[in-house]
Chain A
Amino acid sequence: MSILYDDAQQAIGGEAVRILADRTRSETLKALLETTGRYDMRFWETCKEQGWTAVGIPEVFGGIGLGLVELGLIAEAIGQVAGGAPFLGTGHGVAQAILRYGSDALKERWLPTLASGETIGAVAFAEGADMLPSEPALRLTHGRLVGAKPAVCAGAVAQVALVLASGKQGPVLALVELAGDGVTRNMVHTFDNSRCTADLHFDGVEASVLTGEGALLAARAVLELQAVVTAHEQVGGAEAMLGKARDYAMDRRAFGQLIGGFQSVKHRIAEGYVLVELARANAIHAAASEGEADFGRHAAAARLSATEAYDSVSRDATQVHGGIGVTWEADLHLHQRRARTLAIENGPALFWEDALVDYLVEEAA
């Protein structure tokens, strides 16, 4: 399936773009870069206030019961302004895992506050280069977690984390509260500090198992859902950078003409447009195929095109700007940083390439 947005959906997207343009400041974002563990609280308040945190959660749990298409539109708007808090995507991953695999008690306990945005959720599957370790080093014994998860996005401030750990009979997907004793968070300094990245250490911390059997598949499903949100965010960011490049090329003169009149510049920007359009098409297509058999394939394709678009367009936009583009003042680096961060978080291209090829080979078999 591949859709045209209906009026209601367009309104959601348009509204998000309008509100965010009004409430985000590059000065705030730049200040966040200088320290670890801080995020743009005003931006996050906006997310809560607007109900964006509630989008993917059913009404019975205080959500508004919409789907990936709507969440994608909001994520795209956030991507445009390089929003300074990563919790919308991770919260969605945690909420969906609880919805799908959690007990009624866990649903009652977490979903309403995830919907309101009071609870911040983090997803901690990866261990180094392995996005979905089949034998995680983090261990769950007698209901308690022992070990660590490195560089967890939102890990610095989240109240609850979804982890992939080794249980007695193989990997399990578990939920762990981060407020209690035995949890240590070490801030990680990254080139995009507003992601609130932290190493999480667990020293015998109680955790609830969501699923044992098929935990890897379940974790993959969560990653795929988040992938589509991330892909939209990347599309938004890429589009913003494309706009910056275009506007600059329409303004700056050299050799007696606008630099946008030089084909090497003009074609570079046109190539960027092509990448953004491909990425957007895949992202929308993936969001619209949530729940269908080939969703995983579309999610992987969406991530690949979106990563390529955001990386390339921010690289080229900087080039088009010449010297001014590489300064702290010009703000382009905010998107460059975010492009690389989003490329890695939630699975780098290598991971999604493998995922996609596995799906294609399975299908061909």
Chain B
Amino acid sequence: MSIDLEIYRADAKAWLETKAMEFGHAARRGLSEEEDLTLGRRWQAEKFAAGYSAINWSKEHGGQGLGALEKLAFEQEEMKHSFPNDYFGVSLGMPVPIMLRYVKGDWARERATKALKGEEIWCQLFSEPAAGSDLAGLRTRADRDDAAGDWIINGQKLWTTWAQYADYGVIVARSDPTVAKHRGLTYFWVNMKSPGVTVRPVRLAEGRSEVNEVFFDDVRIADSQRLGSVGGGFGVAMETLMIERYQATDPAGFGPPIDLFVEEAKTIRIGGKSAIEDGRVRERIARTYAAQSALAAIHRRALLSLAAGMQPGPEGSVHKLVSVRTRQKLSEFAMDLKGVDGMRYDEDKTRKESWSKSWMTAPTGRIAGGADEMLLNTIAEKILGLPQDHRPDKGVAFNDFPR
């Protein structure tokens, strides 16, 4: 690793440590979600001021113009403190970068800066009740008002992360139901405070409500809010998802690190012996470590090849598939290991600190952003060239397909 990068990491680490008291885990204990979000917004502003926002974005867009390796180094150090940054993950991850690719000028720059400072939040309105994995099956309509040149949006989105706090969103809607499903979609940005937009939180199994249903009733938006061509929305959506694949950077699948497991296994006793002496426990530790270290190596190589100007490969699919699945199984095992104590559920702990919380929240990770089965299809079809699944809807106009 280069000396510069080591220095960058050490500086970031030192700075983060000075902020941990004010924004880290201890500061968040007992806060309501609203209070936590307020703290989160302040945390984004601090990062922005200190030059740690959008590390690998161009300076023009409010970033630091550094590389992906610096971003990774910072995130690895940041992750250790459980800062309140969940609320900005989707926003800064996909919608704002894709908006910046298509919308130019002061307005876009201003949005980006506000999003980076945590003043504004964006959401991603793709999925619907009948269109998740099959994204091109969506039914929300975008009808052209020919007189005004505007678009009128009607329909329902589902699973929209943090829509309840969002100021803006990116949305894909059906602009032409008479052509094959992939061809009739158009992509826009939308102001979430527009008349006709209703957001209703959906409670997840674990008890929280980070996702929402969003209803659109005659929501009027200008044609200037379109990203890409009319009918070209599916391509822009795919482009957005490609950015998403590069968000997965935690080999522990955003669950507890293996070190925590090792620490606990040293104190837990099974049949009078330390659990760390138990073969079953050792096997699990070793296997999990091997998988996670491979993911870390894959990710670093992906960043190096990006830095060397090569095309990104399929690493993202492998990373998400393996990291979350591994996390789910390890969390289960960690709970087993604690015996009856494994049932305790500590609301105040994050999913990186608590095995039961990690376990409760892991299933969402295996669905959101592409279910395991879809990732396997991607690997099989895109990388290995295996045949596509049987698709009876192929080539049939959206309207003509029985639903």
Residues B294 and A278 in contact, CB atoms below 8 Å apart: yes
Judge if B394 is at the interface, Cβ distance under 8 Å. no
| The residue from A261, A297, A300 contacting B390, defined by CB atoms under 8 A apart | A261
Judge if B266 is at the interface, Cβ distance under 8 Å. yes
Judge if A40 is at the interface, Cβ distance under 8 Å. no
Judge if B377 is at the interface, Cβ distance under 8 Å. yes
Residue of A nearest to B294 (CB): A278
Across the interface, which residues of A come within 8 angstroms of B304, CB to CB?
2-4
- Shortest A228–chain B CB gap in Å is 13
Query: A281 to B318, alpha carbons, bound, how many Å?
Result: 12
Query: A278 to B315, alpha carbons, bound, how many Å?
Result: 10
- Shortest A261–chain B CB gap in Å is 4
Residues A1 and B290 in contact, CB atoms below 8 Å apart: no
| The residue from A250, A270, A279, A352 contacting B294, defined by CB atoms under 8 A apart | A279
Query: A300 to B294, alpha carbons, bound, how many Å?
Result: 12
| The residue from B263, B377, B380, B390 contacting A257, defined by CB atoms under 8 A apart | B390
Query: A130 to B354, alpha carbons, bound, how many Å?
Result: 38
Across the interface, which residues of B come within 8 angstroms of A284, CB to CB?
297, 301
B40-56 interface mask toward A, CB cutoff 8 Å, 1 = contact, 0 = none? 00000000000000000
| The residue from B291, B298, B300, B384 contacting A270, defined by CB atoms under 8 A apart | B384
CB within 8 Å for A282 and B286 given contacts A2-B304, A266-B380: no
Judge if A179 is at the interface, Cβ distance under 8 Å. no
Judge if B305 is at the interface, Cβ distance under 8 Å. yes
Residues B297 and A281 in contact, CB atoms below 8 Å apart: yes
Across the interface, which residues of B come within 8 angstroms of A258, CB to CB?
387
Residues A267 and B390 in contact, CB atoms below 8 Å apart: no
Query: A268 to B118, alpha carbons, bound, how many Å?
Result: 43
Judge if A353 is at the interface, Cβ distance under 8 Å. yes
Judge if B333 is at the interface, Cβ distance under 8 Å. no
Query: A274 to B314, alpha carbons, bound, how many Å?
Result: 10
Interface of A is mostly: helix
Judge if B308 is at the interface, Cβ distance under 8 Å. yes
Residues B380 and A267 in contact, CB atoms below 8 Å apart: yes
| The residue from A3, A278, A298, A352 contacting B322, defined by CB atoms under 8 A apart | A278
Residues B384 and A246 in contact, CB atoms below 8 Å apart: yes
Judge if A344 is at the interface, Cβ distance under 8 Å. no
| The residue from B283, B301, B321 contacting A353, defined by CB atoms under 8 A apart | B283
Residues B305 and A4 in contact, CB atoms below 8 Å apart: yes
Residues A260 and B386 in contact, CB atoms below 8 Å apart: yes
B-contacting residues, A159-195, CB 8 Å: none
CB within 8 Å for A285 and B297 given contacts A261-B389, A357-B276: yes
B293-329 interface mask toward A, CB cutoff 8 Å, 1 = contact, 0 = none? 1111110110011001000000100100110000000
Query: A246 to B379, alpha carbons, bound, how many Å?
Result: 12
- Shortest B284–chain A CB gap in Å is 9
Judge if A43 is at the interface, Cβ distance under 8 Å. no
Judge if B340 is at the interface, Cβ distance under 8 Å. no
State which size class the interface on B falls in.
35 or more
CB within 8 Å for A301 and B293 given contacts A267-B373, A267-B380, A274-B318: yes
Across the interface, which residues of B come within 8 angstroms of A279, CB to CB?
294
Query: A360 to B284, alpha carbons, bound, how many Å?
Result: 13
Residues B386 and A356 in contact, CB atoms below 8 Å apart: no
Across the interface, which residues of A come within 8 angstroms of B283, CB to CB?
353
- Shortest B310–chain A CB gap in Å is 8
B-contacting residues, A300-356, CB 8 Å: 300-301, 304-305, 308, 350, 352-354, 356
CB within 8 Å for A353 and B308 given contacts A1-B1, A270-B384, A278-B291: no
Residues A354 and B282 in contact, CB atoms below 8 Å apart: yes
Residue of A nearest to B281 (CB): A357
A256-298 interface mask toward B, CB cutoff 8 Å, 1 = contact, 0 = none? 0110110100110111011001110110110000000000011
CB within 8 Å for A364 and B285 given contacts A267-B373, A278-B298: no
Residues B289 and A301 in contact, CB atoms below 8 Å apart: yes
| The residue from B1, B263, B376 contacting A266, defined by CB atoms under 8 A apart | B376
Judge if B148 is at the interface, Cβ distance under 8 Å. no
Across the interface, which residues of A come within 8 angstroms of B1, CB to CB?
1
CB within 8 Å for A364 and B263 given contacts A267-B376, A282-B294, A357-B282: yes
Query: A3 to B390, alpha carbons, bound, how many Å?
Result: 40
CB within 8 Å for A364 and B266 given contacts A274-B379, A282-B293, A301-B289: yes
Judge if B388 is at the interface, Cβ distance under 8 Å. yes
Across the interface, which residues of A come within 8 angstroms of B285, CB to CB?
353, 356-357, 360
Query: A305 to B286, alpha carbons, bound, how many Å?
Result: 10
Across the interface, which residues of B come within 8 angstroms of A250, CB to CB?
385-387
| The residue from A261, A273, A357 contacting B379, defined by CB atoms under 8 A apart | A273
Residues A357 and B387 in contact, CB atoms below 8 Å apart: no
Across the interface, which residues of B come within 8 angstroms of A263, CB to CB?
373, 377, 389
| The residue from A1, A3, A260, A364 contacting B387, defined by CB atoms under 8 A apart | A260
Query: A305 to B288, alpha carbons, bound, how many Å?
Result: 10
- Shortest A307–chain B CB gap in Å is 10
B264-281 interface mask toward A, CB cutoff 8 Å, 1 = contact, 0 = none? 001000000000100100
Residues A271 and B376 in contact, CB atoms below 8 Å apart: yes
Residues B294 and A364 in contact, CB atoms below 8 Å apart: no
Judge if B14 is at the interface, Cβ distance under 8 Å. no
Judge if A129 is at the interface, Cβ distance under 8 Å. no
CB within 8 Å for A364 and B376 given contacts A258-B387, A305-B294, A353-B282: no
Residue of B nearest to A352 (CB): B286
Residues B294 and A301 in contact, CB atoms below 8 Å apart: yes
Residues A304 and B376 in contact, CB atoms below 8 Å apart: no
Judge if A209 is at the interface, Cβ distance under 8 Å. no
| The residue from B259, B298, B308, B381 contacting A281, defined by CB atoms under 8 A apart | B298
A-contacting residues, B367-403, CB 8 Å: 373, 376-377, 379-381, 383-390
Judge if A361 is at the interface, Cβ distance under 8 Å. yes
Judge if A249 is at the interface, Cβ distance under 8 Å. yes
Across the interface, which residues of A come within 8 angstroms of B376, CB to CB?
266-267, 270-271
Query: A274 to B378, alpha carbons, bound, how many Å?
Result: 12
Query: A305 to B294, alpha carbons, bound, how many Å?
Result: 8
Query: A284 to B298, alpha carbons, bound, how many Å?
Result: 10
- Shortest B274–chain A CB gap in Å is 10
Across the interface, which residues of B come within 8 angstroms of A257, CB to CB?
387, 390
Residues B386 and A266 in contact, CB atoms below 8 Å apart: yes
Query: A246 to B279, alpha carbons, bound, how many Å?
Result: 36
The list of the 4 closest CB pairs from A to B, nearest first, reads: A353-B286, A278-B294, A261-B387, A281-B297
> What would 9 A/B residue contacts be, using CB atoms closer than 8 Å?
A1-B1, A261-B390, A269-B386, A274-B318, A277-B294, A301-B294, A353-B282, A357-B262, A364-B263
* Contacts A4-B305, A304-B290 supplied; 19 other A-B pairs, CB < 8 Å: A4-B304, A266-B387, A269-B384, A273-B379, A273-B380, A273-B383, A274-B321, A278-B294, A278-B298, A279-B294, A282-B290, A285-B294, A297-B293, A301-B293, A301-B294, A304-B287, A353-B282, A360-B262, A364-B266
